[in-house]
Amino acid sequence: MQIKLGDKIKALRRRDGRKQEDLSAALGVTNQAVSRWEANKGYPDMELIPAIANYFHVSIDELFGYDNDRETRLASYIEEIDRMRELEGDQCKTAFEEQESYLRKALAEFPNEWKLQMRLAWVLQSKAYYNKKEPDKDVLSESAALYEQARKNCGDEHWKESMTESLAGVYTQLGEDERREKLALESSPVNISREMLMCYHKDDEKHKRYTAEAVLALIHSLAWVIDWGWTDSPDVFVSLTGLYKSLFGGKDYGIFSSDMCKLYMRAAARFAKRGDKANALECFGSAYSHYLAYTDSWNKKENRQTSELLSKASTKPYRFIHISKDMLKGCVETFPDGIANTIKNDPKYATIFE
């Protein structure tokens, strides 16, 4: 029993992307205690068992490995739906119907599983908008209800945050302002967010790490808020790249080059909208350079940076964006023909349009 329990705790923790200190903090025990459990050198007090099962959102039977078949079936459902969700383009409409049907079947077997509820909410939210001038509010209403159920059942704070943001967007589209505001009031303000509070650490190395991660998270959130219809000024996004350079220095940001790529793409799109060809082309060129740096670093699984501060960050921000050539291509498609054709005819960018 001890071996199965220790191995199960470790497997569940890794499944959810959590650290030993996350579990120890949630249970009110030391990191060393969790480490001993996972090394099969001890086991939790029996009164902690329900709390551990609740933390990982599993039954006590599952925690002790008595329900492996159920766990395997649930994992297979999730793996298959995630594969189905990779379909894009003309396959989307059919894909939404197939995904919805598949998830409803899975939920009939596992009615309270938040991972399935969340995924069906995703599918319905996308389906509500697909090829429609106005979203289907009946479909959105069901999506909102599923997000609410999934948030209630979810024991993972990171996923809960993601669903909270999605739910706020659905409430907005439904005109449910009071529900959205209530949801917002239940959340923490920026100054006492997780990222900000983590900076208060006496250990100098951890302080530097958490400060770097807080700055990254704030830049991501700032760019997102500005991008959300606040302004069409490209200068704002160019200024953000300047802020990034001032904070972190250098030209090589490793995987965080994706940040710079996205900021320059946003600036390029706004310059193009103004008809400012020269600046649009310059910003797109910068975006492409950072795309290449990001891709190279990601493929080599390197997290290199020239900045001492940025190198301290070990956790990617919540809105970390994986840049693809399709994103660059999609950006160009929004440009006026004159600017778009100049980019498409430039041999340097040939691989984007293959």
Backbone angles phi, psi at 78, to 5 degrees: -65, -40
- Check if the beta carbon of residue 268 is closer than 8 Å to that of residue 283: yes
E strand or H helix that includes residue 139: helix 137-153
CATH number of 68-187: 1.25.40.10
Q: What does the pLDDT profile of the chain (354 residues) look like in tens digits?
A: 344 688 888 888 888 888 888 898 888 888 888 988 888 888 888 888 888 888 887 777 677 766 566 778 888 888 888 888 765 545 555 688 889 999 999 998 888 899 999 999 999 998 888 767 788 999 999 999 999 999 998 888 878 888 998 999 899 999 999 999 999 998 888 888 888 888 888 888 888 888 888 888 888 788 778 877 677 789 999 998 888 888 777 666 777 788 889 999 999 999 999 999 999 999 999 999 999 988 888 887 665 555 666 777 777 776 677 888 888 998 999 999 999 999 999 999 998 988
Q: Can you tell me the distance from the alpha carbon of 52 to that of 41, in angstroms, rounded to the nearest whole number?
A: 18
Strand, helix or coil for residue 17? coil
pLDDT the model gives residue 174: 93
Ordered by start, the domain boundaries in the chain are: 2-63, 68-187, 221-353
What's the whole-model pTM score?
Answer: 0.60
Contacts of 79 (CB under 8 A, 6+ apart): none
pLDDT the model gives residue 138: 94
Q: Can you tell me the distance from the alpha carbon of 152 to that of 145, in angstroms, rounded to the nearest whole number?
A: 11
Q: Can you tell me the distance from the alpha carbon of 31 to that of 44, in angstroms, rounded to the nearest whole number?
A: 12
For domain 2-63, give the CATH superfamily.
lambda repressor-like DNA-binding domains (1.10.260.40)
Q: Can you tell me the distance from the alpha carbon of 246 to that of 260, in angstroms, rounded to the nearest whole number?
A: 13
Could you tell me the end-to-end alpha-carbon distance of the chain, in angstroms, rounded to an integer?
56
Length of the chain: 354
- Check if the beta carbon of residue 288 is closer than 8 Å to that of residue 265: no
- Check if the beta carbon of residue 297 is closer than 8 Å to that of residue 257: yes
